[in-house]
Amino acid sequence: MFRVTKEIHFCYGHRLLNYAGKCRNLHGHNGKAVVTVETETLDALGMVVDFSEIKRVIGKWIDDTLDHRMLLHRDDPIIAELLRQGEPFVELDANPTAETIARLIFDRAVEHGLPVTEVTLWETENSFATYRPTPGVPTKPVAMREVAGNPAPVPTRA
């Protein structure tokens, strides 16, 4: 078995609903997604997959969808205000924990055709969560909705 891993750094904000700790408040992280791809054989160039292909596929999706966005549970009351303000965010059907975000990235990597075997999300420099599916056990992907936002124009000085 051959394995390659690509790290993708991004910034995001979130909070956890129905949680008693500090993470119930809006806050942000400088996160790192560690995407692992495995194959039994190498391609004609002697690679599992080119690192730049992982970056092009899932790195671009992370940059376009998660980077500098609020990741929120669909029932979060702050969503109404973000909509009023025209702010972009990502709405999830689950609490935006490190575990959920790792699973979300895994699901998108699979959808984009990468033979990904696991995704680890580093929320801080010493806290991380990994999603690796159990072979043969079907699971339901994390549902999400991206809201692009429509920020008001910045006033210019005359």
- 73 annotated among ligand-binding-site residues: no
Identify the CATH number of the domain in which residue 101 sits.
3.30.479.10
Number of compact structural domains in the chain: 1
Kindly tell me if the per-residue pLDDT of 75 is higher than 80: yes
**Higher per-residue pLDDT: 154 or 122:** 122
Query: Is 11 marked active-site?
Result: no
Average pLDDT rounded to a whole number, residues 14-33: 97
Domain containing 39 equals 2-147
Please write the tens of the pLDDT for every residue from 110-144: 999 999 999 999 999 999 999 999 988 888 888 99
Within-domain flag for 152: no
Within-domain flag for 156: no
Within-domain flag for 29: yes
Query: Is 7 marked active-site?
Result: no
With beta carbons less than 8 A apart as the criterion, state whether 102 and 131 touch. yes
Candidate list 68, 81, 111, 146, residue with the active-site label: 68
Query: Is 23 marked active-site?
Result: yes
pLDDT at 60: 96
Candidate list 73, 91, 118, 123, residue with the active-site label: 123
Please write the tens of the pLDDT for every residue from 88-100: 999 999 999 999 9
Q: How far apart are CA 108 and CA 57, in angstroms?
A: 9
Q: How far apart are CA 15 and CA 31, in angstroms?
A: 14
- Which residues, 6+ apart, have CB-to-CB distance to 21 below 8 Å? none
Within-domain flag for 154: no
pLDDT at 10: 98
Q: How far apart are CA 105 and CA 119, in angstroms?
A: 7
What global pTM score does this model have? 0.91
CA distances from 4 to 12, 53, 58, 114 (A): 25, 12, 14, 12
Within-domain flag for 44: yes
Candidate list 23, 38, 53, 112, residue with the active-site label: 23
With beta carbons less than 8 A apart as the criterion, state whether 66 and 28 touch. no
- 9 annotated among ligand-binding-site residues: no
Average pLDDT rounded to a whole number, residues 23-49: 97
- Of all residues in the chain, what percent carry a pLDDT higher than 90? 88
